[in-house]
Structure 1
Amino acid sequence: MMTDLTVESLYLAAGVALLLAATVPRLFRNRAVSAPMLVLGVGAIVGLVVGRLGLNSISPRSHPEVTEYLAEMCVIVALMGVGLAIDRPLRWRTWNSTWRLLLIAMPICIVAVAVFGWWVAALTPAAAVLFGAVTAPTDPVLASDVQVEGPTSGEDPHEEDDEVRFALTSEAGLNDALAFPFVYFGIFLAVKGSMSGWFVEWLVWDLVGKIAIGVAVGWISGDLLGRAFFRLPIPNVRLADRGEPIAALAAVFAVYGVTQLVGGYGFLAVFLCAVAMRRIERGSDYHGEMHGLIEQLEHVLTLVVLLVLGAALTSGLLSALSWRGALVGVVLILVIRPAAGWLSLQRSDQLGTTERRITSFFGIRGIGSLYYMSYVVIQTDLGAEADELWAMVAFTIVLSVVVHGASAGWVMTRLERQRERDGALS
């Protein structure tokens, strides 16, 4: 049960986030100081002030349920926005870079981080696997300069897509869900012990079954909703003609709720629902209207979560962080993800050498990791290791926000100039 101070703190965070959401993103676009960096800094100052006043602040460590719900809401709203923003039809060949990042880079990252965490930070095998899985999802929302900007109209819009932006955005849309089986693997390892008693169940149900349910529910519901929005034979009820963007939120909550009730991965279903909706009537301006509403709500929720995280940073969340734990986070962001991404994209004919380097580097960690960490703490009793994992996850997110946020605008600007020069020479 949340205390009154906790509820009041949430209201305060929401109010500040609304003000920041209205002014900060455009002001700091393509700047070295990104909006998430600024919000984390504001949150850190709030945490210091709250501590000096002797009040209780909201911390992911002490309020995992609150953090889980906030981060969960933020992720599902962001996934709908990402799905609506992607113009490219879902095909194996045109999404080749995405599949490589998901099927090669993400497993390599999880295994490498787990082994490094066990070896360097002396984590138990279960905690090491959990850290690798929790930090597996990428999050372009925290560095908007590297994501696709939104839905466009046209008969074949994918021909003009920026492959780097597309790969990073579509990867984040799918790996927020596909990290879940590996999180369950770590939870089972911590709770059930030896793999002989649960590995087959995990393989059949958590890895294959829940993904299949998420794919089926998401795609079918997106197809049905898209037909209802754009092709319903009753004009007065056809939402695309009336311009009712609130339908996007209805789709988010309904699809996520149904998928969770039947045992599938709701994150996956929400993203695929949006992709399927785009497929029905790709050139409609209604997609832009829905995306605009979703994007605004996404900004607010993201900034609320970042304010809470920032306040927690100066309220003891990092107290259990050792230099070894920090080293694991640094190696993940600066070595493991870039190396895994580069390896996975070696035979991709859709990306040039420079584009491969950029795509590999921007493996941004963010809100998804907060959600998974909260979920893990609620589901398992990790004892003292829970504090250490919280500190490592928070440090990794902050490092990613700073490194990727400060470099995203500069890197993407350089890439666009290089393309212009190459185009002029050709």
Structure 2
Amino acid sequence: MMDWSPDPYIVVMTGAGILIALVAWLPLALRRLPLSLPIVCIVIGSIIFGMRPMGFDPSPSAHPYITERLTEFVVIIALMGAGLKIDRVFSFKQWSITWRLLLITMPLSILAIMGVGLWVLGTGALASLLLASSLAPTDPVLAADVQVGGPKDGGEDTVRFALTSEAGLNDGFAFPFVHLAIVLSLAATTGDDWLVRWLSFNVFWEIVAGISCGWLVGKIFGWLTFRMPGDTLAKTGDGLIAIAATFVSYGISELIHCYGFFAVFVTALTLRSAHRDHEFQRDMHDITEQVERIAMMVLLLAFGGSLVTGPPAPIGWTEVFAAVLILFVVRPATGLLGMIGAPATRGEKLAVAFFGIRGVGSFYYLAYGLNHGEFEDADRLWSILSLVAIMSIVMHGLTVTPIMRWLDRSHGRDPDKGGLPPPGLQGPAES
């Protein structure tokens, strides 16, 4: 008798084909709808895991090491893509709005979220610090709808530039605070002088070395790609060079024990500056975007499944109230404080303050902290983080299209052309 049971390999292959088709089609289909790709992915994941048991728990808390590595992979690909698509030349003056978000908004967010952890959730000081460090940075992966377009697409307005550059750099700036939570959690058992080690190694060395490593790798790949005598890498037409640069930059930075997130983003900015107007910049950006979207969708399908299996610790009204404070009070308030005096309209400041999207990067930081430190209430931290992430994905996903289209229209830009001014009204790019 013929066995009609499906071969798991064939089922996975079919599902992968459908997933890749969705990666290509959904962004176009959702362009005018108040809906985002991450929301669709989570819904599909919930349906898949809800209809048929898969034989394993997809929750990030059940596989902390795998969660750390998979989210790490997606984040570094997203950072390369973010750096390649920024048209604005790097300078401290032209990136002033970025420094405000990094040096004012993020530290204030960490302090405020830590306060929420201590006084609302009742978590310990170290657990609250780790949670705050994980939730303070905006996410470079899930924020595609509020970021700038591809290289030389135009329409690089204040809001999109601010959120893209912030997401590119704040993952690196959050790492010292994550390490502070880790070294404090281990200080009682190691007996080390944690303050000297943290300041000298985790703050000074890892930041300086990470930026330097990224710049050097970017210079080398920029020369090989655009300047090398004879056949440059750009002549291959193969955008996979950007993936190679990502892996080399991150790998070397990790080998010398510095911040790889800094290194990758700086590599991307340096590689972009090697020949800003070359059409190969588009090829490199496109391949990173495609790889990022596929990996992101896989992660979000699993996250959707984890919502069906349930959180590792119960979620009550206290956790919901804390999540509301983090998303609706902490980020908007600290964002507006950081934007005081910034060259932006009131609507632009409100949009930047509101779209502090939390997601994949937060899961990476929490997994990294729990894997390298000793913290109590790990299951509860996972539950709170998952709650904040799903609320952020839904809230920001439903509002991003109408808000960004309204901002484009209010500034005389065409929302159907990526924020470009209507024909005949295009002027010089914002600086």
CA pair 206-54 structure 1, distance change in 2 beyond 3 A: closer
Alpha-carbon shift at residue 59 of structure 1 (Å):
1.8
Match of 1:68 in 2: 68
Question: Given the alignment, which residue of 227, 232, 235 partners 1:231?
Answer: 227
Matches of residues 85-96 of structure 1 in structure 2 within 5 Å? 85-96=85-96
Alpha-carbon shift at residue 38 of structure 1 (Å):
1.1
1:168-212: CA deviation from partner (whole Å, max 9, x where unpaired): 000000111211111111122222259993122111211121000
Match of 1:125 in 2: 125
Asked whether 1:105 is paired with 2:105, we answer yes
Q: TM-score, normalised by structure 1?
A: 0.90
Alpha-carbon shift at residue 68 of structure 1 (Å):
1.3
Match of 2:164 in 1: 169
Match of 2:181 in 1: 186
Contact map agreement 1:318 1:395 (CA 8 A) in 2: no
Contact map agreement 1:138 1:171 (CA 8 A) in 2: yes
Match of 1:3 in 2: none
Contact map agreement 1:13 1:307 (CA 8 A) in 2: no
The worse-fitting range, judged by mean Cα deviation, of 282-291 and 238-247 is 238-247
Match of 2:410 in 1: 418
How many Å separate the matches in 2 of 1:187 and 1:10? 38
Contact map agreement 2:210 2:262 (CA 8 A) in 1: yes
Contact map agreement 1:329 1:395 (CA 8 A) in 2: yes
Match of 2:417 in 1: none
Match of 2:350 in 1: 357
Match of 1:146 in 2: 146
Match of 1:40 in 2: 42
Alpha-carbon shift at residue 377 of structure 1 (Å):
2.1
Contact map agreement 1:142 1:405 (CA 8 A) in 2: no
CA pair 171-12 structure 1, distance change in 2 beyond 3 A: farther
How many Å separate the matches in 2 of 1:340 and 1:31? 29
Asked whether 1:278 is paired with 2:278, we answer no
Of all paired residues, the percent bearing the same amino acid is 38
How many Å separate the matches in 1 of 2:294 and 2:54? 27
Contact map agreement 2:78 2:140 (CA 8 A) in 1: no
Question: Given the alignment, which residue of 19, 22, 38 partners 1:20?
Answer: 22
Question: Given the alignment, which residue of 373, 381, 395 partners 1:389?
Answer: 381
Alpha-carbon shift at residue 213 of structure 1 (Å):
0.6
CA pair 78-8 structure 1, distance change in 2 beyond 3 A: farther
Matches of residues 402-417 of structure 1 in structure 2 within 5 Å? 402-417=394-409
Contact map agreement 2:75 2:141 (CA 8 A) in 1: no
Match of 2:317 in 1: 323
Match of 1:369 in 2: 362
* Secondary structure in structure 2 of the residue aligned to 1:347: coil
Q: TM-score, normalised by structure 2?
A: 0.89
Contact map agreement 2:46 2:305 (CA 8 A) in 1: yes
In structure 1, the gaps of 5 or more residues are 1-5
How many Å separate the matches in 2 of 1:9 and 1:74? 24
The worse-fitting range, judged by mean Cα deviation, of 312-321 and 63-72 is 312-321
Contact map agreement 2:101 2:338 (CA 8 A) in 1: yes
CA pair 11-263 structure 1, distance change in 2 beyond 3 A: farther
The worse-fitting range, judged by mean Cα deviation, of 54-63 and 396-405 is 54-63
Amino acid aligned to 1:149 = G
Asked whether 1:262 is paired with 2:256, we answer yes
Contact map agreement 2:140 2:168 (CA 8 A) in 1: no
Contact map agreement 1:40 1:310 (CA 8 A) in 2: yes
CA pair 280-37 structure 1, distance change in 2 beyond 3 A: same
In structure 2, the gaps of 5 or more residues are 1-7, 414-420, 426-431
Amino acid aligned to 2:273 = R
CA pair 326-14 structure 1, distance change in 2 beyond 3 A: farther
How many Å separate the matches in 1 of 2:388 and 2:12? 24
Contact map agreement 2:35 2:401 (CA 8 A) in 1: no
Amino acid aligned to 1:399 = M
Question: Given the alignment, which residue of 235, 246, 249 partners 1:252?
Answer: 246
Match of 2:51 in 1: 49
Contact map agreement 1:71 1:367 (CA 8 A) in 2: yes
Aligned-CA RMSD value: 2.3
1:215-256: CA deviation from partner (whole Å, max 9, x where unpaired): 00001110121111101111x2x0112312111111011110
